[in-house]
Amino acid sequence: KAGVTQTPRYLIKTRGQQVTLSCSPISGHRSVSWYQQTPGQGLQFLFEYFSETQRNKGNFPGRFSGRQFSNSRSEMNVSTLELGDSALYLCASSLGLAGVGSGANVLTFGAGSRLTVL
Partner 1 sequence: DQQVKQNSPSLSVQEGRISILNCDYTNSMFDYFLWYKKYPAEGPTFLISISSIKDKNEDGRFTVFLNKSAKHLSLHIVPSQPGDSAVYFCAAAINSGGSNYKLTFGKGTLLTVNP
Residues that bind partner 1 (CB under 8 A): 4, 35, 40-45, 48, 55-56, 90, 92, 96-102, 105-112
Burial 23-43 (b: 16+ CB within 10 A, else e): bbbbeebbbbbbbbeeeeeee
Q: Minimum distance from CB of 69 to partner 1 (Å)?
A: 20
- Dist. CA 19–CA 1, nearest whole Å: 29
Instruction: Kindly state the smallest distance separating residue 68's Cβ from partner 1, in Å.
Output: 15
Q: Write down the least CB distance from residue 55 to partner 1, Å.
A: 6
Given the complex with partner 1, which of 83 and 111 has the nearer CB atom? 111
